[in-house]
Chain A
């Protein structure tokens, strides 16, 4: 499989008054054609910043300080705004978390979809309009002609996110970055949206990075998963390996804290403590202070290594049995 996106050693830091925030601090991952990769972590783990870095949407005081972002072999880590403008919405699309906030409230849906086509292709308005209509039909929107004439506030939340997804697919991109696209939606709508997204990627062969904090959402969707903690990837591998046999204590904790039917009546697992202060990271393993399996070794910083068919950043890999305890 060809790698559509290959990120290695990515560091995106924010230079604030209070100090340097290392939001992304050495992240490696890659996505191949037709593959969906889940990027999972708590809020503040740097997963969204990773997504924005790929699109060059990091605004001052933030900037990419190190690493490489290869998109179809093209280096983006130091690309200029013009190069990004040609790629964005064209070869790489993005779906945002809250469609209420991302669709411009004073512009009609058709304006916002057609402009995405006209920004990259020299076609007539009519052709662009027809393509927008067909795209809406593809994501399961009934009577798309009518919806095109609507303003965003006249659509439901699920409908707006479908518009955003349709817009993302308009120019048949090679890569889509979806930043918590279902978080703001009802559970039933979530399932539908995930289904639509999955179908579209399979049909078009588009690669996708699905950013979320919700392991349950990605379990049935993604092919591979990267778990982020405090700006770094702590565990990365095939979805079955990571979900069924997690080895990092943090992943174990995340999975243990999801309520499921077969663990009814048992106490849910809790990860103690809070996410570390971004300005004042603990020495050694960033997860160390909250980890139930920490040892003396954790005072040093663990490197990411190949363990049991996955990448793992831990001195004390867990066994499967411990998930249930």
Chain B
């Protein structure tokens, strides 16, 4: 978050001694919705990290799971004596425990692919901005081409070819999303390159690399943070979708999507909780990230400043 100081260009305003970061912080927390969303996301991450210590059961330790506990309604008591507040799934796993463990996998996959895609996309975007000319034209053609296909379709195609597995799904998500970051970086670079100070710097003989890294990269930070939050949320959601369709993570890596898929068959018979509760966990995660991202866009966008 400390990067934000670099992201918002300092305005020389004698009347105010607020640093850009302080202003960003006060503007961000001005919105109650965004503050609440950030807090919710914080709680979700905390729950996922602490899962092994705050759940009554390790749902993937077969010794702790009893098939006799299968499909119990929320609030039932497990054979081992604790209460299953959210019920249990078909295999007798406590849903509360399964959801927290599932969150760990979903968040890990989403964040990992988000960060890798951000790095890959940023580097490619900067290379395009740095190289210019033909190389830039070719890179941007590829970006445009890929963006003309929905990310979900690209990811689906890749997992269809690659098969199941954590590494494969992360690869698929990265390939599906890098272009968004590359386009963002290149878009900012185009705007910045058109400004007088870059022309002035060029006239002074300042090297291209210096312009790209000292001027263009810092200016990309704000839009990248916004795109990053939204894309990470979408990566989490996309992973869940693929896993639900049975082409994402295998049963041995039960993310929220896998849990929801497992509950699908029981839903029509009225055992709603097996699908609904993991779905709600997914929903809170994705919505809270998106609300934060949406507000970040307003705060970090200089045009929206009053």
On A, residues with C-beta under 8 Å from B are 16-18, 279-280
Contacts and interface: CB of A to CB of B under 8 A. Distances in A.
Contacts of A18: 306
A17 B306 contact: yes
A16 B15 CA distance: 15
Interface in B278-306: 306
Interface of B: 15, 306
A279 B15 contact: yes
A17 B27 CA distance: 11
Nearest to B27: A17
5 contacts: A16-B306, A17-B306, A18-B306, A279-B15, A280-B15
Q: Is the interface of B mostly helix, strand, loop or mixed?
A: loop
A294 to B, nearest CB: 23
A279 B15 CA distance: 10
A280 B306 CA distance: 17
Contacts of B306: 16-18
Nearest to B306: A17
Contacts of A279: 15
A17 B26 CA distance: 13
Contacts of A17: 306
A18 B306 CA distance: 8
B118 to A, nearest CB: 32
B17 to A, nearest CB: 14
A151 B269 CA distance: 63
A18 to B, nearest CB: 8
Contacts of A280: 15
A243 B15 CA distance: 38
A280 B15 CA distance: 9
A16 B306 CA distance: 8
B160 to A, nearest CB: 45
A12 to B, nearest CB: 18
Nearest to B16: A18
A252 B306 CA distance: 36
A289 to B, nearest CB: 15
A193 to B, nearest CB: 34
A45 to B, nearest CB: 21
A17 B30 CA distance: 12
A276 to B, nearest CB: 13
A244 to B, nearest CB: 41
Nearest to B305: A17
Contacts of B15: 279-280
A14 to B, nearest CB: 11
A133 to B, nearest CB: 42
A17 B304 CA distance: 13
B271 to A, nearest CB: 53
